Chains A and B, each alone.
Chain A
């Protein structure tokens, strides 16, 4: 083996312990967190846009809702139930955000 080969071997040395699994897991945890936050940002923007549209249509919606309000009561109750379920699933959401719970 000549000097050039020895030099290449020296310069091409890689970390002793293969921490591939641990390293990849750490990177992917951060990637997942970032992807989730990006998704959350998209949802917030979408929700804002919808809110804006609804606000613009408020006069027409008010008239329509007051006409059908009595029949909407069961739906509203169901939505309240769904919201409660989502809130109960909160810790999972906090964990994905990387925030400690309790």
Chain B
């Protein structure tokens, strides 16, 4: 589905690109939030704008999702290295930034998971979020984050172990 829209967007269709944005914005923002980026919306927005400008550089139309997340990941990393954003966010905005809590996870486990997730290195956090949370393949994560496949596998295994260890009161 992405491929057809990417082809149209590459040909200059802003409507097609708007559909791509609508399809990917929520999971991308969720991924960035889970990966610990407070200004996830800003990063996601900048990533989409950069993606529009960089569409001609995309080699495979089918690889749009991984490429987009890669752009967002690089934006996030460069933003961290740069100066802190000055924009102050009001409470309403913060409310919108909250994530939809999964009913399957109890309050105690949630707190423990959030604390444990925050202790993971950022690469590892991104790997577990994409592989375990969004069902990506190791190869796709490797491509998106620019990490070796073996590193991604090891990040997912170790991250999963650390997160499971804090669940269920164990």
Chain A residues within 8 Å of B, Cβ to Cβ: 1, 3-20, 23-24, 26-28, 30-32, 34-35
The total number of A-B Cβ pairs within 8 Å is 116
Q: Known contacts A7-B164, A28-B21, A35-B14: does B133 contact A15 (CB below 8 Å)?
A: no
Contact present for A3 and B164 (CB under 8 Å): yes
> Which residues on A sit within 8 Å (CB–CB) of B27?
14
Q: A24-B25, A28-B14, A32-B14 are in contact. Are A16 and B98 (CB under 8 A)?
A: yes
**Bitwise interface map of B from 77 to 89 toward A, beta carbon under 8 Å scored 1, else 0:** 0000000000000
- The answer to whether B49 touches A34, judged by C-beta atoms less than 8 angstroms apart, is yes
Q: Which residue of A lies closest to B106 (CB)?
A: A6
Number of chain B residues close to chain A: CB under 8 A: 45
Known A11-B128, A11-B129, A14-B30; judge A23-B25 contact (CB<8 A). yes
Check A9 against B105 for contact (C-beta < 8 Å): yes
In the assembled complex, which residues on chain A have CB atoms less than 8 Å from the CB atom of B167?
3, 6-7
CA distance A28 to B48 in the complex (A): 9
* B1 is an interface residue with CB less than 8 A from chain A: no
